[in-house]
Amino acid sequence: MPYVTVKMLEGRTDEQKRALVERVTAAVTETVDAPAEKVVVFIEEMPKNHYAVAGKRLSDQ
């Protein structure tokens, strides 16, 4: 049973997340020959104030 975790900043629509889950599932199914009903996708959204690049939080930019 493949588990896939996608970490991204918050702000995507439900439609975008739905499409992401469908495409990730299809890619895993095609790549590792796992049945779609066994593929688990987790989406972890982070607020911009919890993410920093080069010492600067994205919420401060």
Structural domain span for residue 34: 3-57
Query: How large is the average pLDDT for residues 10-32?
Result: 98
Which neighbouring-strand residues pair with 3?
A: 40
Interior angle at CA 25, CA 27 and CA 40, nearest 5: 135
Q: pTM value?
A: 0.85
Other CB atoms within 10 A of residue 25 CB: 19
The yes-or-no answer on residue 2 being catalytic is yes
In eight-state DSSP terms, residue 10 is S
Q: Which residue type is seen at 4?
A: V
Which neighbouring-strand residues pair with 46?
A: 9
CATH number, residue 27: 3.30.429.10
Q: What is the pLDDT of residues 23-40, one digit of tens each?
A: 999 999 999 999 999 999
- pLDDT at 55 > cutoff 90: yes
Q: Which of 1, 2, 19, 47 is catalytic?
A: 2
Count up the domains in the chain and report the number.
Answer: 1
pLDDT recorded at residue 61 = 86
